[in-house]
Amino acid sequence: MADWKNTSELNSFKKLGEVKPVDLKTAMSGENGAKRVKDYSIKMAAGLSYNYAAKAVDENVISALKELADEADLAGKFEELYNGAVINTGEKRMVLHHLTRGQLGNNINADGVDKREFYLGEQKKIAEFANKVHSGEIVNEAGEKFTTVVQIGIGGSDLGPRAMYLALENWAKKNGCFKMEAKFISNVDPDDAAAVLASVDVAHSMFILVSKSGTTLETLTNESFVKDALKKAGLDASKHMIAVTSETSPLAKSSDYLQAFFMDDYIGGRFSSTSGVGGAILSLAFGPDVFARFLNGAAEEDKLAAKKDIMENPAMLDALIGVYERNILGYPATAVLPYSQALSRFPAHLQQLDMESNGKSVNRFGEPIDYVTGPIIFGEPGTNGQHSFYQLLHQGTDIIPLQFIGFKENQAGVDVDIQGSTSQKKLCANVAAQIVAFACGKDNENRNKNFKGGRPSSIIVGDQLTPEALGALLSHFENKVMFQGFVWNINSFDQEGVQLGKTLAKKVLAHETDGALAAYSALLNI
């Protein structure tokens, strides 16, 4: 059994604070900088690599991080997790999302079944359903093929699947496996559903209702909205809807749906992209084979996360460097900057993944802690961000660590040569230039044009954003967040912080308010 201690109780953490800080500007200058770029790199799955040359670390810092990894027993804790320990202490649940894409440890039995078999079974059911939709075996009331799939879900049922869909849409079109266009309805704002419904041909649309509990307010409201629209169009809603939910939810056996696919309480929403939550929409949009390739990429990356040596475990190393930046260097945020338009919503997914998992102020036993935990996560794709908030990143008064992502090749395979280079080369040149600009800066006598440098970044580099590469990327960040939660001794798998707002919103709607809540209700004319 792993020993769960607060970060501040670890001797190795105290030692980490005593290691001499690295002068990043000096370290990255000249041939030493070139050597770091070559040496400070770890292989990931699907041909990706994690390069941390431009992080403010050296052999001494890394050595201290290794000690921290050992003392906090990060590898042992992950092993307990994937062997079925009740890691989610708040909700007293196992944490099994890794099992949706592979098996790292023991067989895990729960709810009377082998859980790996259960997840595989749901994946297979979804694949069969998707194949029938694509082949025309499952059709609408008029006997016509479905052309569009619309996911109704919020939070983890929206952000991850949406980011994954956008990430692979152009790749699928280029590679002949684009089957159905996908859309997403998430917000309880009725203008969200209205706009999406106006943009699709409902008669040829399949709707996926995604809610683990089957009670999510936004999702049920939007389901009603969609059912109204189907009814108004003279259509039978039950011929247009499927559900992804838990077997115990009210949706599970409802005749309102063509079919229901299952997840369970061991898959948190923000970790559910590789379950049926992502599986149904991605299998319908791109075919089950593409979804399987995506899972394979994640499973391969998970294997690396199970390695004990941080030099072979990019997620663990990335996590530890993040802890160093957050708790020792005192940086409040991390910017995620993918140089790939396909990853335009990947930062929004990581924002949920990270901030909902590790934005906690008590340890896994419910005791207060005396150190900071999860940082703010934000980001936009490059080069767009360069023309937006990079000014602050380069010359602002706070240092914000950066997480770049880049690919050598684009997805669509169309490009243009101008001023002696392609767009893709320009894109890559920009990310290379930014890393060095942030790390090394540039002195200028005009201090308004001076760049201090010393601003740390890492980059994940790949050949192309394929399904496997996307799966590996997703797994990397899921496991990074998990390892940081282990270091901080918090429970990364519950989200009690979302409950109070829900409770108060119900009071407002029931007009059971007083004080400020009543006054705000009046202000908003509720």
Shortest distance, CB of residue 341 to a copy of itself, whole angstroms? Answer: 4
- Is residue 195 at the binding interface for a copy of itself, with CB under 8 A as the rule? yes
Residues 357-416 that bind a copy of itself (CB under 8 A): 357-362, 366-369, 371-374, 376-378, 380-384, 386-398, 400, 406, 408, 410-412, 414-416
Residue type, 377: I
Span of 137-145, 246-254, 309-317, 354-362 interacting with a copy of itself by CB under 8 A: 354-362
Catalytic residue check, 301: no
Query: Among positive and negative, which fits the CA dihedral 507, 508, 510, 512?
Result: positive
Q: Which is nearer to a copy of itself, 288 or 322 (CB)?
A: 322
Helix, strand or coil, per DSSP, at residue 284: helix
Shortest distance, CB of residue 125 to a copy of itself, whole angstroms? Answer: 26
Catalytic residue check, 91: no
One of 90, 128, 131, 252 touching a copy of itself (CB under 8 A): 90
Q: Which of 122, 223, 325, 356 is catalytic?
A: 356
Tokens matching residue 104: 């790292």
Q: Tally the C-alpha atoms within 13 A of residue 490's C-alpha that lie toward its C-beta.
A: 27
Quick one: CA torsion of 10, 16, 17, 23, rounded to 10 degrees? -170
The closest alpha carbon to 356, from 338, 370, 376, 372, belongs to 376
Catalytic residue check, 387: yes
Residues 454-493 that bind a copy of itself (CB under 8 A): 459, 461, 491
Q: Which is nearer to a copy of itself, 43 or 449 (CB)?
A: 449
- Is residue 186 at the binding interface for a copy of itself, with CB under 8 A as the rule? yes
183 phi and psi, to 5 degrees?
-130, 165
The closest alpha carbon to 363, from 506, 486, 458, belongs to 486
Residues 295-314 that bind a copy of itself (CB under 8 A): none
Residues 100-139 that bind a copy of itself (CB under 8 A): none
Size of the site for a copy of itself (CB under 8 A): 159
Helix, strand or coil, per DSSP, at residue 58: coil
Enclosing H/E stretch for 183 = strand 181-185
CB 148 within 8 Å of CB 200? yes
Span of 13-21, 110-118, 132-140, 418-426 interacting with a copy of itself by CB under 8 A: 418-426
Span of 13-21, 119-127, 133-141, 334-342 interacting with a copy of itself by CB under 8 A: 334-342
> For residue 143, what are the contacts with CB-CB under 8 A and spacing of at least 6?
none
> For residue 6, what are the contacts with CB-CB under 8 A and spacing of at least 6?
363, 367, 369, 370, 371, 489
Residues with a known catalytic role: 356, 387, 502
